[in-house]
A and B are shown apart, each in its own frame.
Chain A
Amino acid sequence: MRTRTDWLAHAVLGLGVVLFAFPVWLIFAGATQDAGAINRGDISLLPRLSHLGIFLSVLRNGDGANPTPIWHMLMISAGMALGIAIGKIVISLLSAYAVVFFRFPFRMLAFWTIFITLMLPVEVRIIPTYAVMADFHMINSFAGLTVPLLASATATLLLRQVFLAIPDELVEAARMDGAGPVRFLVSILIPVSAANLAALFVILFVYGWNQYLWPLLVATDPRLDTIVIGIVQLIDTGFTLTPWNTMMAMAVLAIIPPVIVVVAMQRWFVKGLTEVEK
């Protein structure tokens, strides 16, 4: 009985792995092939080893349509994703801290105001946000790329739940030990919720990395193109043929940094999502 369920479980897992890995393999193999061949629809599942150099050349020289080299796009993407992830965590850490551990006038009002912004993602408020950024002269700047995405109801709500699960007695023990608000935050709260913060960081990094609409709108300067924008720019505009192999090479390169972040944080990440005991 046991061995049978094990066998079944492995079969299901194996199928899942194939389903997820196949597209990734396809773009990896496709990157080494002829743009024309891919356009005709005959894409081989075997990479042409002699053409592996395309990754390096794309990285160094750009994609031909855009003068910015891909490494620069990756840097912009990484900077934006890091800025968004760290900024969101700092802001939501502080706001969740205030909402959970302090009694101040209009506390619940503040909480519900944060909550309501859940219904107003960037896509919904894109025109007014653009107008505000324009007034601040932040169009075509790195700050313009990141700042409007920083305020985060989701992260605040998540951290609020984490903080609410912290036993009152722990807070009181720290108070009796003489820990003030800052000391409590730094020495107790952040270390105790470190696993959750790590999980949040991974999710937010990927969220930032995948941003498309806002960067498209606010940064028209090619020096600020993110890798996602760079890929989309290559799509057939009617005048030129889509260089599918270049696009696929860029896509492979674009996957790597989020994968590194996920793998590096994996232990923490899983702990933060599954651990209930405090």
Chain B
Amino acid sequence: MASLELRGLAKSFGAQVVLDGIDLTVADGEMLVIVGASGCGKSTLLRLVAGLEQPSRGEVILDGRDITDRDPAERDIAMVFQNYALYPHMSVFQNMAFGLKIRGLPQADIRRRVGAAAEMLGLGDLLTRKPRALSGGQRQRVAMGRAIVREPKLFLFDEPLSNLDAKLRVQMRADIRRLQRRFAITSLYVTHDQVEAMTLGDRLVVMREGRAAQVATPMEVFARPADTYVAGFIGAPAMNFLPARLTAGGHGAALAAGPAILFADGPRPGPEGRGLTIGIRPEHVQLDPAGMAFAVDLVEPLGSETLVHGRLADGEGLVVKIAGQAPPGEALRVALPPAQLHVFDAGNGTRLEPETATVGPLAGLAVTG
């Protein structure tokens, strides 16, 4: 296993810029998950790393060696494809053994490696079957097995679970994570599913239109999203966004819907009246008799919790997630706890950290005293 480094990786197809300078490192044994909407360039990034596509700019460094110009076969990288891409005319055994045979491994070694991988993946009884006689989950395992037997330096996964049904997906997700942990397989995992991303990744890369919007641990991305795009993408139901203005001294935000809220963690920079976007997750909004008026227009019971859709006094939409059942009535009152607010610039959507904060991107600009 090994570490991977991408330096300024860019790719254009004709005039269309698909990747716009990606810098990343994946540490030895780490699982880095790339998450983003469909079409943001995730697969393209994987294909550049795999060598199936040549970058327009930038370098791919594996284990300290520049492999940008190497053939896919010479990169020591294995890939699990979205639709599995099993060889339809070969048995499970032959599918897994194909790459080893080409590399000229002795028969005995091939049999031992394939046998071990099949055992690990629960494919022991299926070795003579053809792919078309397998279920989706089994095909998925064969695709994994084909990658594992190669004992590569790096694993690439391109939405490997998106063709499975929901239940199987949860199970395979856990299996992949266990395998990856057990063998400390350095992995780059692409998905558009945020739950998969949160549960699988040691770190996440949230991609947007060919750029990395944020690179951080899942909890960090969830707790301190770098901008409104990331904030809206991670978490379900999605975060609420409300327009607001900075109050005097940067101490709070005056919501368009009425009340001003004092920031719990310190003032934000900027002149009074600076445009803000206040973010709050649905589960953090509280019912409060002393709060803002909230006109309910839709109630979605989910069993143990309830989603309540409605509007604030100024007409802004808000989704509230409450434990148990929603109280009856069309008019509720809600409060936004200051400690749970996310503050973003209204213009470019970037996160605004408190001026006195000692962490975060604006820490260097902190004004003390």
Residues in A lying within 8 Å of B, measured CB to CB? 167, 169-170, 172-179, 183, 187-188, 191-192, 194, 278
- A194 & B72 in contact (Cβ 8 Å cutoff): no
A-B contact count (CB 8 A): 58
**Of the candidates A167, A172, A187, A194, which one forms a contact with B98 in the assembled complex, judged by CB atoms under 8 Å apart?**
A187
**Of the candidates B77, B89, B90, which one forms a contact with A176 in the assembled complex, judged by CB atoms under 8 Å apart?**
B77
**Of the candidates B73, B88, B89, which one forms a contact with A175 in the assembled complex, judged by CB atoms under 8 Å apart?**
B73
A86 smallest CB distance to B (angstroms):
21
- A173 & B73 in contact (Cβ 8 Å cutoff): no
Residue of B nearest to A169 (CB): B85
Scan residues 56-97 of chain B and give those whose CB is less than 8 A from a CB of chain A: 71-73, 77-79, 81-83, 85-90
- A175 & B52 in contact (Cβ 8 Å cutoff): yes
In the A-B complex, list the 7 residue pairs whose CB atoms are closest, starting with the nearest: A177-B99, A178-B73, A169-B85, A173-B85, A191-B89, A178-B102, A169-B81
Chain A interface helix/strand/loop/mixed: helix
A15 smallest CB distance to B (angstroms):
37
**Of the candidates A167, A176, A188, which one forms a contact with B83 in the assembled complex, judged by CB atoms under 8 Å apart?**
A167
Q: Please report the total number of B residues contacting A with Cβ < 8 Å.
A: 24
- A173 & B88 in contact (Cβ 8 Å cutoff): no
Is B103 in the interface zone, CB < 8 Å from A?
yes
User: Which residues on the B side are within 8 Å of A170 (C-beta)?
Assistant: 85, 87
Is B50 in the interface zone, CB < 8 Å from A?
yes
How long is the Cα–Cα vector from A275 to B103 in the complex, in angstroms?
33
- B88 & A278 in contact (Cβ 8 Å cutoff): yes
**Of the candidates B79, B90, B102, which one forms a contact with A179 in the assembled complex, judged by CB atoms under 8 Å apart?**
B102
List, sorted by A's number, 14 A–B pairs whose CB atoms are closer than 8 Å: A169-B82, A172-B85, A173-B85, A173-B86, A173-B146, A174-B98, A176-B50, A176-B72, A176-B78, A177-B146, A183-B102, A191-B90, A192-B87, A192-B89
User: Which residues on the A side are within 8 Å of B150 (C-beta)?
Assistant: 177
- B99 & A178 in contact (Cβ 8 Å cutoff): yes
Interface centre among B71, B73, B83 (most CB of A within 10 A): B73
Chain B interface helix/strand/loop/mixed: loop
How long is the Cα–Cα vector from A278 to B99 in the complex, in angstroms?
21
How long is the Cα–Cα vector from A264 to B212 in the complex, in angstroms?
59
User: Which residues on the A side are within 8 Å of B86 (C-beta)?
Assistant: 173
How long is the Cα–Cα vector from A68 to B73 in the complex, in angstroms?
58
A188 smallest CB distance to B (angstroms):
6
Residue of B nearest to A277 (CB): B132
With A167-B85, A170-B87 as known contacts, state yes or no: A175 contacts B72, CB within 8 Å: yes
Residues in B lying within 8 Å of A, measured CB to CB? 47, 50, 52, 71-73, 77-79, 81-83, 85-90, 98-99, 102-103, 146, 150
- A172 & B88 in contact (Cβ 8 Å cutoff): no
Known: A175-B73, A191-B90. 13 other contacts (CB 8 A): A169-B82, A172-B50, A173-B79, A173-B81, A173-B86, A174-B98, A176-B50, A176-B72, A177-B146, A178-B102, A183-B102, A188-B87, A192-B88
How long is the Cα–Cα vector from A188 to B85 in the complex, in angstroms?
12
User: Which residues on the A side are within 8 Å of B72 (C-beta)?
Assistant: 172, 175-176
B95 smallest CB distance to A (angstroms):
9
Residue of B nearest to A172 (CB): B52
- A177 & B98 in contact (Cβ 8 Å cutoff): yes
User: Which residues on the B side are within 8 Å of A191 (C-beta)?
Assistant: 89-90
- A172 & B89 in contact (Cβ 8 Å cutoff): no
How long is the Cα–Cα vector from A191 to B98 in the complex, in angstroms?
14
B89 smallest CB distance to A (angstroms):
4
- B77 & A178 in contact (Cβ 8 Å cutoff): no
How long is the Cα–Cα vector from A102 to B238 in the complex, in angstroms?
46
- B102 & A177 in contact (Cβ 8 Å cutoff): yes
How long is the Cα–Cα vector from A177 to B98 in the complex, in angstroms?
7
B100 smallest CB distance to A (angstroms):
9
How long is the Cα–Cα vector from A176 to B100 in the complex, in angstroms?
11
User: Which residues on the B side are within 8 Å of A175 (C-beta)?
Assistant: 52, 71-73
How long is the Cα–Cα vector from A191 to B102 in the complex, in angstroms?
17
- A176 & B87 in contact (Cβ 8 Å cutoff): no
B47 smallest CB distance to A (angstroms):
8
Interface centre among A169, A178, A179, A187 (most CB of B within 10 A): A178
Residue of B nearest to A193 (CB): B89
- B81 & A194 in contact (Cβ 8 Å cutoff): no
- A169 & B83 in contact (Cβ 8 Å cutoff): yes
Residue of A nearest to B75 (CB): A176
- A178 & B103 in contact (Cβ 8 Å cutoff): yes
Residue of A nearest to B100 (CB): A177
A101 smallest CB distance to B (angstroms):
13
User: Which residues on the A side are within 8 Å of B73 (C-beta)?
Assistant: 175-179
- A176 & B79 in contact (Cβ 8 Å cutoff): yes
**Of the candidates A167, A174, A178, A194, which one forms a contact with B89 in the assembled complex, judged by CB atoms under 8 Å apart?**
A194
Interface centre among B79, B82, B86 (most CB of A within 10 A): B79
How long is the Cα–Cα vector from A179 to B90 in the complex, in angstroms?
15
User: Which residues on the B side are within 8 Å of A173 (C-beta)?
Assistant: 79, 81, 85-87, 146
A183 smallest CB distance to B (angstroms):
6
User: Which residues on the B side are within 8 Å of A167 (C-beta)?
Assistant: 83, 85
B263 smallest CB distance to A (angstroms):
50
B134 smallest CB distance to A (angstroms):
14
Residue of B nearest to A179 (CB): B102
A36 smallest CB distance to B (angstroms):
58
A118 smallest CB distance to B (angstroms):
31
A192 smallest CB distance to B (angstroms):
6
User: Which residues on the A side are within 8 Å of B47 (C-beta)?
Assistant: 172
User: Which residues on the A side are within 8 Å of B83 (C-beta)?
Assistant: 167, 169
How long is the Cα–Cα vector from A176 to B152 in the complex, in angstroms?
11
